[in-house]
Amino acid sequence: MTDTAPYEASALDWNALRSLALLAAQRTALVPTPKLGYVNRATNDYTELLGPHWLLDHRMQNSEGSYSGHVEEDHTDDVYALLPDGSLVYVQVVEEIWVFPSRETPVYKDHHVIRNMTDADVQAFDHAKEHYALNGVWGDTVWAGHGQGPLLHGRKGAGLSQLLNDVLDGRVTGLPPAGSLSKFHDPSVLQRQLEAAHHRRALSTAAAQASARSSAEWRRQEERRARNRKTDKIFDRTIGAFKGGAIALVVWAILAMAVGIPAGLGVLIVVLGIVGGAMWLWMP
């Protein structure tokens, strides 16, 4: 078992590390990668994360699971890079997709993080990589004690210093292989991803327009139904007015024959019947 006491007792010398990083960036014969970027499916836009840089390490993680009515799938890329000004940076890109049974199209929640390397980032280079496969999660990123295998160096920062010396001397042996991040580096891959993003945007726009047209048609149908109901109500109440007049006329005729009501009073009864029936037109 490796004795970790000397390592834990050592101190991370950031001044020496930054000086070596700047020297490597200024004097290396290795050509930097022009840029690093990705197509964010949440916005369907290309996002450039880094300009010229040297890739020092790349780790990844996949995860999937079901949460509160949706299925979630994530792919994470962790990138450690050296910039031309000697900066040591960490970039994380998370491609996240949520699939809902009730929706025809998935929801994308892609996002990224860019920051300077921390002590923990540097010390990860002092350990062997550990590949893990947990419940729905697998990869080699460093988190919660995972992704970090046996200790390889006896001093904090020695692993990263070794890689920076490789860059300084133009050696690629310890660096990630060329093409390991083609989806972030290769223009042709990025172009295909961007075309796919534009296709998704077009589909989303078409779906939104179809939904708007459907909503407008529904509103027009509701307006037609409301007008028809109003017309039917007026018609029914008009018929009610005539019925009232007819009933009054029949009553007058019966009373006239039975008790001899004067014609003038009969006319008044008919008029009152018509008016009573017509009042239905103005009742809610």
pLDDT, one tens digit per residue, over 59-93 is 999 999 887 788 899 999 999 999 999 999 999 99
Mean predicted lDDT score pLDDT of the chain? 81
Report the candidate in 78, 80, 79, 87 with the shortest Cα–Cα distance to residue 24: 87
CB–CB of 244/207 below 8 Å? no
Question: What's the rounded Cα separation, in Å, for the pair 85 and 245?
Answer: 99
Residue 135 is predicted with a pLDDT of 87
For the residues 129-133, what does the mean pLDDT come to? 92
Whether residue 161 has pLDDT greater than 90: yes
For the residues 240-245, what does the mean pLDDT come to? 59
Question: What's the rounded Cα separation, in Å, for the pair 114 and 233?
Answer: 67
Question: What's the rounded Cα separation, in Å, for the pair 73 and 140?
Answer: 17
pLDDT digits (tens, 9 = 90+) for 33-53: 999 999 888 888 889 999 999
Question: What's the rounded Cα separation, in Å, for the pair 265 and 152?
Answer: 119
Residue 129 is predicted with a pLDDT of 92
Count Cβ atoms within 10 A of the Cβ of residue 159 and give its class: 0-12 exposed, 13-18 middle, 19 or more buried. buried
30-44, 148-162, 227-241 — most confident range? 148-162
CB–CB of 26/87 below 8 Å? no
pLDDT band, residue 58 (cuts 50/70/90): very high
Contacts of 62 (CB under 8 A, 6+ apart): 73, 74, 75, 76, 137, 138, 139
Question: What's the rounded Cα separation, in Å, for the pair 255 and 253?
Answer: 6
Indicate the pTM of the whole model. 0.67
Task: Delimit the domains of the chain by residue range.
Answer: 5-185, 226-282
For the residues 219-243, what does the mean pLDDT come to? 70
Q: Are strands 45-50 and 36-40 parallel, antiparallel or unpaired?
A: antiparallel
For the residues 105-133, what does the mean pLDDT come to? 94
pLDDT band, residue 177 (cuts 50/70/90): confident
For the residues 132-158, what does the mean pLDDT come to? 91
